[in-house]
């Protein structure tokens, strides 16, 4: 029974092959030329010489990345999602919007340096990452020191990693990890929706769910 479910999903995902990047096609340092060179500018006057490359690790059902793709149509977005059934929803959403500036990697990224080159990425988004609350699982958090260091090596000069969560414990541990990893905090709030950063904020599914329950949203931007 389980096998049939997986097979159906594989079939469904095949329809979106043009939006998905398989691991074997990835050449770190070449994402824009390899996967976004066919992108059409919104209009000739808005054509950008060097489009930016943004990555979201754990895109869930894709609301954030799709909104970002619409907001910045001449920049390039890579959405990473480890669960194929969830990724399928995100891909369908992006496809429905007719966006050509979002590509998907369906799989867990544990060694980001195998995916992107040093200095290749302009922004990394970690939105409502799994909390892994047990201490013995701390290394699995996307905000663990080694991962933050790996992400920061991918960043182009002056660029950023943004982390949002409703989970206060995870947020406090992330701040400690940022310090241990030696990263610089560029912006931080424990109540994003009532902060100076609210106007530019792009919501995720989890963010909407938790803020509707009255939870405050934490955000930190670092490099
Ligand atoms: C709690 S959900 C949040 C989804 C979405 N970002 C949001 O805010 O609505 C976290 C998602 O990250 C995915 N994920 C966690 N670690 C990942 C990794 N290393 N690579 C890819 N996806 C990952 C999980 O499969 C899950 O769908």
CA of 8 to the centre of ligand 1 (A): 22
Distance CA 218, CA 57 (A): 17
pTM to 2 decimal places: 0.95
- Domains in the chain with CATH codes: 8-21+52-222 (3.40.50.150)
For residue 20, give the DSSP letter: B
Number of C-beta neighbours around residue 6 at 10 A: 11
For 64, phi then psi, to 5°, come to: -65, -50
| Residue 107 CA, closest ligand 1 atom number | 21
User: Does ligand 1 come within 6 angstroms of the Cβ of 205?
Assistant: yes
- Test site for ligand 1: of 58, 65, 84, 205, most ligand atoms within 8 A of the Cβ: 58
**Spatial CA neighbour of 77 closest among 46, 55, 106, 94:** 55
Q: Which residues of 92-110 are buried (b: 16+ CB within 10 A; e: fewer)?
A: bbbbeeebebbbbbbbebe
- pLDDT for position 73: 96
Cα dihedral 87, 105, 153, 71 sign = negative
CA of 189 to the centre of ligand 1 (A): 22
Distance CA 153, CA 39 (A): 27
Question: Which residues contact residue 51 at a Cβ distance below 8 angstroms, ignoring those fewer than 6 apart?
Answer: 32, 36, 39, 74, 75, 76, 101
- pLDDT for position 50: 86
Each residue's pLDDT expressed in tens, for the chain with a length of 223 residues: 455 566 799 999 999 999 999 999 999 999 999 999 988 777 666 566 789 999 999 999 999 999 999 999 999 999 999 999 999 999 999 999 999 999 999 999 999 999 999 999 999 999 999 999 999 999 999 999 999 999 999 999 999 999 999 999 999 999 999 999 999 999 999 999 999 999 999 999 999 999 999 999 999 999 9
């Amino acid at each position: 029974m389980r096998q049939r479910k997986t097979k159906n999903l594989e079939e469904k995902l095949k329809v979106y092959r043009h939006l998905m990047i398989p691991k074997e096609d990835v050449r770190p340092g070449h994402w824009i030329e390899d996967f976004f060179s066919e992108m059409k500018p919104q209009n000739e006057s808005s054509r950008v010489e060097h489009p930016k490359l943004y990555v979201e690790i754990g895109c869930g059902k894709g609301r954030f990345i799709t909104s970002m793709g619409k907001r910045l149509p001449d920049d390039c977005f890579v959405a990473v999602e480890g669960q194929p059934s969830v990724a399928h929803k995100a891909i369908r959403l992006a496809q429905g919007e007719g966006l050509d500036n979002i590509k998907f990697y369906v799989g867990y990224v544990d060694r980001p340096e195998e995916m992107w080159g040093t200095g290749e990425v302009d922004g990394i988004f970690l939105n409502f990452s799994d909390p892994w609350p047990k201490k013995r699982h701390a290394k699995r958090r996307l905000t663990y020191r080694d991962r933050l260091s790996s992400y920061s090596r991918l960043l182009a000069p002056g660029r950023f990693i943004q982390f949002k969560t409703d989970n206060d414990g995870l947020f406090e541990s992330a701040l400690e990890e940022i310090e241990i990893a030696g990263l610089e905090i560029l912006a931080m709030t424990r109540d994003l929706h009532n902060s100076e950063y609210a106007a530019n904020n792009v919501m995720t599914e989890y963010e909407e769910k938790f803020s509707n329950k009255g939870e405050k949203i934490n955000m930190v931007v670092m490099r």
